[in-house]
């Protein structure tokens, strides 16, 4: 009766926790860049804005045997897409061109400006004659408005740095960009739904001779989440089957899956609720790490089931296991890194939730006597360990840290090909290395500040693209006009054999009229804006950018993210020794003997071995591998503790725990998503090595 009431109470607690978790307010943070770049990092807000911009663009390439078919394919595609979700921005330069043509003397290339400032009128005259007599040269204005063809010169300077192409190996191409219209549209559920429709349209329209390629961040995200979901479903099914099999094999009773499930649910709910209450924004990557609680739930459950009548020794073992597992996670809380603090809170409260469930509610379940099965073979275990450590040593020859985001994500070859094709066809095939962010009080103020910076960039030989390149400020237009007027006054008479005297006089006496572009209304202006009054200058040179001005910030996305990741990695590595020292101290205090130190040996060997093997397989270690190392330290203490003070059926209990946990991580390490597989590989090898090493370290005790 008491047991039934207890189980009822457990059910009510889980139900209440479930309700609380559903109704919790706050944001779930899905942006990996935002996760890795805390607000304390300089330019983090701008980098996040840039990644959000990238996340809202789908790139499309159309391919066929002839131009007509390409255009038909493009039209069919555009007819079928959801225009409430996507918009196609085509650069319409006609308004800009009309403004340029109406005020041809307001626009100068930097080279011509310098020539005019230094009054090198003869050189400008000679250049204009070359343009005048240029066969098949297209003069955009008439000579009575722009006798020196300065507008041609300005527009030539502003041409794209690389050119698009629509013919590659006799195949014809066209490309467009689809912009996701609203912020709500960037929610993963909504985006993925629309992307899957887009992919369906692509498949319907693609034939043998006509193809459509999709690229861009939303496509990458869709592919990754689809692959991850498939992998995780696959892992869940097979891991569950293994647990069902093992439970039935040992206990002939699959009803024991109920308490296992309840402890896992309890752990996940307590961890999740605690994290949501402490932190305003919940990082989705926390959930990835929290999945390891499933392993803990199974481990604690098996330890309880195999011990049959949990006595003081069992309570001591499980409590010590809890304490030693908590220590590394508690330490993560003091890193002042948001993601690590969240993992810490989730895991600590999750572990407590599982522990509480096992102690308070497991006595309510009838546990049958387990089979004795495992008979470890010393020679085979020894041989396995030797082989593992040989490979691990080889792995250390490839060991290096990779702090780039690419360490966590590698696109498929198909997607890489689509990206490269889009870049070639659209003309975006350049290496943008840095962004200079310029802030002002208004858009014209921003443009004026940009001009001071771009003058310096031009002087130092940098290629760049910016708003001010196309839309000079009012001040700059007035200066330009003044320089051109000086040219007319001092040099225009040389054109007296072509221009009439009246035309010459009119030009010399012309007055400045400002060209008002209304930049905030121009399409594509948003491509250059971080904020309402903050613009971006895209720089294309790989030389270091020296300090340009006090009114700008230099953003090197790749470098800024790498620096942030490297600083986390360094901090985590520095904390390892203190973590081990604290664990050693706690173990010596708890066990009051050398046994405490002995318990640490298998986890330490597990760390060394798992890093070596991971280096061998991946060739590198990343930030998430290092976080996984803390988990290896925490989780594998469990096996050592239960071997140090062995209970009934100890070896089977540890074998079943290690097998189920390592099997799940093995499957996870095979999934295509590098972030998940890098965590899982460390955990898999850590558990296997700790299990095997523990056998030898505690051979006499078991």
- Interface residue list for another protein (CB under 8 A): 66-68, 71, 93-94, 97, 101, 129-130, 132-144, 156, 159, 163, 166-167, 172, 174, 497-500, 503
CB of 156 to another protein, least distance (A): 5
Q: Minimum Å distance from CB 126 to another protein?
A: 8
> CA-based Rg of the chain, rounded to a whole angstrom?
33
Shortest gap between Cβ of 140 and another protein (angstroms)? 6
- Give the bridge partners for 534, in sequence order: 439, 531
Q: CB-wise, 141 or 551, nearer to another protein?
A: 141
Summarize the chain as % helix, strand, coil (round to 5).
65, 10, 25
Contact 91, 522 (CB under 8 A): no
Angle between the N-to-C axes of helices 557-591 and 595-618, in degrees from 0 to 180, rounded to the nearest 10: 160
- Closer of 158 and 313 to another protein (Cβ): 158
Question: Cβ of residue 153: shortest distance to another protein, in angstroms?
Answer: 10
Instruction: Report the residue number, 174 or 299, with the smaller CB distance to another protein.
Output: 174
Closest distance of CB 286 from another protein, Å: 50
Shortest reach from residue 413's CB to another protein, in Å: 29
- Residue number with CB closer to another protein (71 or 261): 71
d(CA 179, CA 144): 43
The residue (of 131 and 439) whose beta carbon lies closer to another protein is 131
For residue 482, the SS3 value is helix
Contacts of 401 (CB under 8 A, 6+ apart): 566, 569, 620, 621, 622
| Residue number with CB closer to another protein (423 or 662) | 423
Give the SS3 label for residue 291. coil
**Residue 543 Cβ vs another protein, minimum distance, rounded to whole Å:** 21
How remote is the C-alpha of 160 from its chain's centroid? 29
**Closest distance between another protein and the C-beta of residue 141, in Å?**
7
By beta-carbon proximity to another protein, the closer residue of 133 and 441 is 133
Q: In this complex, which beta carbon is closest to another protein, that of residue 64 or of residue 657?
A: 64
Number of other residues whose CB lies within 10 A of the CB of residue 592: 9
Instruction: Answer yes or no: are the C-beta atoms of 62 and 77 closer than 8 Å.
Output: yes
CB of 166 to another protein, least distance (A): 6
| Burial zone of 494 (CB within 10 Å; 0-12 exposed, 13-18 middle, 19+ buried) | middle
Nearer to another protein, 166 or 553 (CB): 166
Minimum CB distance to another protein smaller for 130 or for 207: 130
Contacts of 301 (CB under 8 A, 6+ apart): 256, 259, 260, 263, 358, 362
* Burial 442-475, CB ≥16 within 10 A → b, else e: ebbebbbbbbebbbbbbeeebebbbbbbbbbbee
Quickly count: other Cβ atoms within 10 Å of residue 596's Cβ.
Answer: 21
Give yes or no for a contact between 195 and 185, defined as CB atoms under 8 angstroms apart.
no
CB of 132 to another protein, least distance (A): 6
Give whichever of 130 and 369 is closer to another protein, judged by the CB atom: 130
Residue 424, helix vs strand vs coil:
helix
Nearer to another protein, 269 or 421 (CB): 421
Of residues 174 and 451, the one with the C-beta less far from another protein: 174
DSSP assignment, residue 209? Answer: S
Q: d(Cα 111, Cα 153) in Å, to the nearest integer?
A: 9
Burial class of residue 78 in the structure, from the number of CB atoms within 10 Å of its CB (0-12 exposed, 13-18 middle, 19+ buried): middle
Distance CA 150, CA 128 (A): 8
Q: 129 vs 236, which CB is nearer to another protein?
A: 129
Q: Alpha-carbon torsion 205, 208, 210, 214, what sign?
A: positive
**Residue 346 structure tokens:** 């989730």
Cβ atoms 616, 398 nearer than 8 A: yes
**Whole-number minimum distance, CB 136 to another protein, in Å?**
6
Specify whether the CB–CB gap between 344 and 332 falls below 8 A: yes
Give the shortest CB-515-to-another protein separation in angstroms.
Answer: 17
As measured in angstroms, the least distance from the Cβ of 426 to another protein is 14
Q: What is the DSSP letter of 621?
A: B
The distance of closest approach from Cβ of residue 75 to another protein in the complex, given in angstroms and rounded to an integer, is: 12
Question: Using an 8 Å Cβ cutoff, are 279 and 341 in contact?
Answer: yes
Contact present, 399 and 393 (Cβ < 8 Å): no
């Amino acid at each position: 009766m008491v047991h039934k009431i207890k189980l009822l109470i457990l059910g009510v607690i889980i139900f209440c926790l479930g309700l609380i978790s559903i109704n919790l307010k706050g944001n779930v943070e899905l942006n990996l860049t935002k996760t890795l770049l805390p607000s304390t990092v300089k330019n983090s807000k701008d980098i996040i804005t840039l990644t959000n911009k990238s996340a809202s663009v789908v790139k499309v390439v159309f391919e066929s045997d002839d131009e007509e078919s390409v255009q038909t394919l493009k039209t069919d595609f555009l007819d079928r897409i959801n225009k409430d979700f996507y918009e196609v921005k085509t650069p319409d330069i006609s308004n800009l061109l009309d403004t340029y043509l109406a005020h041809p003397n307001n626009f100068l290339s930097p080279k011509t400006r310098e020539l005019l400032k230094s009054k090198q009128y003869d050189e400008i005259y000679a250049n204009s004659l070359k343009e005048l007599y240029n066969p098949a040269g297209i003069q955009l204005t008439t000579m009575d408005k722009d006798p020196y063809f300065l507008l041609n010169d300005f527009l030539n300077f502003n041409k794209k740095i690389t050119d698009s192409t629509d013919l590659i190996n006799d195949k014809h191409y066209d490309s467009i960009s689809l912009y996701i219209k609203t912020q709500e549209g960037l929610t993963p559920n909504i985006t993925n739904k629309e992307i899957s429709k887009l992919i369906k349209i692509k498949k319907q329209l693609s034939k043998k001779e006509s193809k459509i390629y999709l690229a861009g961040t939303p496509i990458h995200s869709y592919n990754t989440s689809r692959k991850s979901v498939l992998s995780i479903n696959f892992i869940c099914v097979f891991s569950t089957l293994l647990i069902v099999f093992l439970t039935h094999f040992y206990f002939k009773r699959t009803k024991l899956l109920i308490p296992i499930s309840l402890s896992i649910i309890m752990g996940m709910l307590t961890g999740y609720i605690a994290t949501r209450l402490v932190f305003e924004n919940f990082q989705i990557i926390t959930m990835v790490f929290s999945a390891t609680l499933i392993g803990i739930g199974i481990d604690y459950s098996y330890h309880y089931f195999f011990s049959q009548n949990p006595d003081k020794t069992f309570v001591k073992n499980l409590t010590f296991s809890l304490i030693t597992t908590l220590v590394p996670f508690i330490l993560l809380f003091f890193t002042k890194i948001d993601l690590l603090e969240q993992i810490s809170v989730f895991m600590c409260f999750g572990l407590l939730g599982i522990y509480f469930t096992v102690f308070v509610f497991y006595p309510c379940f009838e546990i049958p006597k387990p089979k004795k099965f495992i008979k470890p073979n010393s020679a085979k275990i020894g041989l396995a360990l030797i082989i593992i450590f040989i490979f691990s040593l080889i792995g250390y020859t490839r060991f290096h840290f990779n702090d780039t985001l690419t360490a966590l994500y590698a696109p498929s070859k198909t997607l890489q090909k689509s990206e490269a094709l889009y870049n070639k066809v659209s003309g975006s095939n350049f290496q943008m290395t840095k962004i200079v962010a310029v802030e002002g009080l208004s858009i014209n103020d921003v443009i004026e500040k940009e001009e001071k910076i771009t003058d310096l960039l031009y002087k130092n030989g940098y290629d760049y693209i910016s708003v001010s390149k196309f839309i000079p400020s009012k001040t700059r237009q007035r200066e330009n006009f003044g320089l051109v007027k000086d040219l007319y006054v001092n040099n225009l008479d040389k054109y007296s054999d072509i221009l009439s005297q009246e035309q010459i006089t009119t030009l010399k006496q012309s007055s400045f009229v400002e060209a008002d572009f209304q930049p905030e209304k121009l399409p594509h202006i948003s491509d250059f804006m971080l904020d309402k009054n903050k613009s971006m200058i895209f720089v294309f040179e790989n030389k270091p950018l020296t300090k340009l001005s006090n009114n700008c910030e230099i953003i090197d996305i790749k470098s800024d993210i790498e620096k942030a990741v490297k600083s986390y990695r360094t901090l985590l590595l520095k904390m390892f020794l203190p973590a081990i020292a604290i664990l050693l101290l706690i173990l010596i205090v708890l066990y009051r003997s050398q046994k405490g130190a002995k318990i640490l040996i298998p986890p330490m060997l597990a760390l060394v071995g798992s890093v070596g093997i991971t280096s061998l397989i991946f060739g590198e270690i990343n930030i998430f591998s290092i976080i996984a190392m803390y988990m290896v330290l925490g989780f594998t203490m469990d096996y050592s503790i239960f071997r140090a003070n062995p209970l009934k059926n100890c070896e089977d209990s540890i074998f079943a725990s290690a097998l189920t946990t390592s099997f799940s991580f093995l499957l996870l390490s095979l999934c295509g998503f590098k972030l998940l597989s890098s965590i899982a590989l460390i955990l898999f090898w850590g558990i296997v090595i700790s299990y095997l090493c523990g056998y030898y370290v505690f051979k006499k005790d078991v």
